[in-house]
Amino acid sequence: MDKYIEMIRIRFLMMLAYRTNYYTGILIYSINIGAYYFLWSAIYGEKDAIEGMSVIQMSTYVAVAWMARAFYFNNIDREMAAEIKEGKVAVELIRPYNYLGMKTMQGLGEGIFRLFFFSVPGMVIVSFIFPLQFSADWTTWIFFAVSIILSFFINTQINLLTGITTFFLFNNTGLIRAKRVVIDLFSGLLIPISFFPLWAQDVLKFLPFQGISYVPSMIFTNSFSNNEAIQAIIMQGIWVLILIIPIQVLWIIAKKQLIIQGG
């Protein structure tokens, strides 16, 4: 276990080395949040609530969804693709650790870094600019914390799956990009799932994406009852378990037919 924790630390250090990238990042996220805030304000107009959410809940939803994204989002699929294409994965295979486990830990190191240097200060800045509503109920915060960790795992597992496809596809840049768009859209980052047409909501119920953004954001804005929140978190947990299966299967096949590029 020691080695995995050490890997989180290493990735944290690496992020720290490039921390200036993040100042611009905060700006970009703030602009995004601002744009969606004004968009939603216009949509709400004089209405008090749409689909059971008030305008202030909506702006909180937008802010927390983006700031949570900073935590769960990572590029380990692109990193894996590069490592596989350049043959660097050979070096990973001669280490006494689990490659996918280490990749997950790198993602976590990155996430923790962004949580402290990006999400938290970003949220403070944004709360000065836009009217947001923070829950006073500590159970909400606990539910949110559990839920956001599960978001990280679901998103990372999907990234691992996409990354492993590099072993089989000659070029998966397109797939990686498509995956990103699908997640941003179907996870509820841009529009809460409850705003989707009913048939689409029914379909999305059977997909893991809403566990990434919709669930933690709904919890944070108190839009879920306690019961709904617990159910949603259990669903997230089930998805984390389910996703282990295709990852392990693909990984075993990949290792068997592994071909390392270059001398």
Name the site residues for ligand ADP (rule: CB under 6 A).
259, 261, 263
- Could you tell me the smallest distance in angstroms from the CB atom of residue 263 to another protein? 5
Pick 28 or 260: Cβ nearer ligand ADP: 260
19 binds another protein (CB under 8 A): no
Angle between helices 55-72 and 20-44 (to 10 degrees): 150
- Could you tell me the smallest distance in angstroms from the CB atom of residue 61 to another protein? 36
Pick 96 or 263: Cβ nearer Mg ion: 263
- Could you tell me the smallest distance in angstroms from the CB atom of residue 85 to Mg ion? 18
- Give the distance from CA 19 to its chain's centroid: 20
Number of residues that bind Mg ion (CB under 5 A): 1
How do strand 53-54 and strand 49-50 relate by DSSP bridges? antiparallel
Q: Tokens 């304000």: give the residue.
A: 41
Q: Are the C-beta atoms of 222 and 138 separated by less than 8 Å?
A: no
How far is CA 252 from each of CA 156, 162, 164, 167, 236, rounded to the nearest angstrom?
18, 15, 10, 11, 25
Query: What is the CB neighbour count within 10 angstroms for residue 87?
Result: 13
Stretch that binds another protein, among 70-78, 92-100, 201-209, 210-218 (CB under 8 A): 92-100
- Could you tell me the smallest distance in angstroms from the CB atom of residue 170 to ligand ADP? 13
- Could you tell me the smallest distance in angstroms from the CB atom of residue 92 to another protein? 9
Tell which one of 50, 56, 82, 90 touches another protein (CB under 8 A).
90
Q: Which does 96 bind (CB under 5 to 8 A by kind): Mg ion, another protein, ligand ADP, none?
A: another protein
Q: Are the C-beta atoms of 109 and 8 separated by less than 8 Å?
A: yes
Pick 45 or 263: Cβ nearer ligand ADP: 263
Pick 201 or 261: Cβ nearer ligand ADP: 261
Mark residues 234-263: x for contact with Mg ion by CB under 5 A, - for none: -----------------------------x
- Could you tell me the smallest distance in angstroms from the CB atom of residue 262 to Mg ion? 9
Identity of the amino acid at 126: V
Q: Which two tokens mark 112?
A: 């923790």
Q: Which does 14 bind (CB under 5 to 8 A by kind): another protein, ligand ADP, Mg ion, none?
A: another protein
* Residue 53 backbone dihedrals phi, psi, to 5 degrees: -115, 130
Instruction: Give me the half-sphere count of Cα atoms (radius 13 Å) on the Cβ side of residue 249.
Output: 5
Nearest to 208 by CA among 180, 238, 246, 231: 238
- The span from the CA of 173 to the CA of 50, in Å, is 38
Q: Which does 197 bind (CB under 5 to 8 A by kind): Mg ion, ligand ADP, another protein, none?
A: none
Q: Are the C-beta atoms of 157 and 236 separated by less than 8 Å?
A: no
Binding site for another protein (CB under 8 A): 2-3, 6-7, 10, 13-14, 17-18, 87-88, 90-91, 93-98, 256, 258-260, 262-263
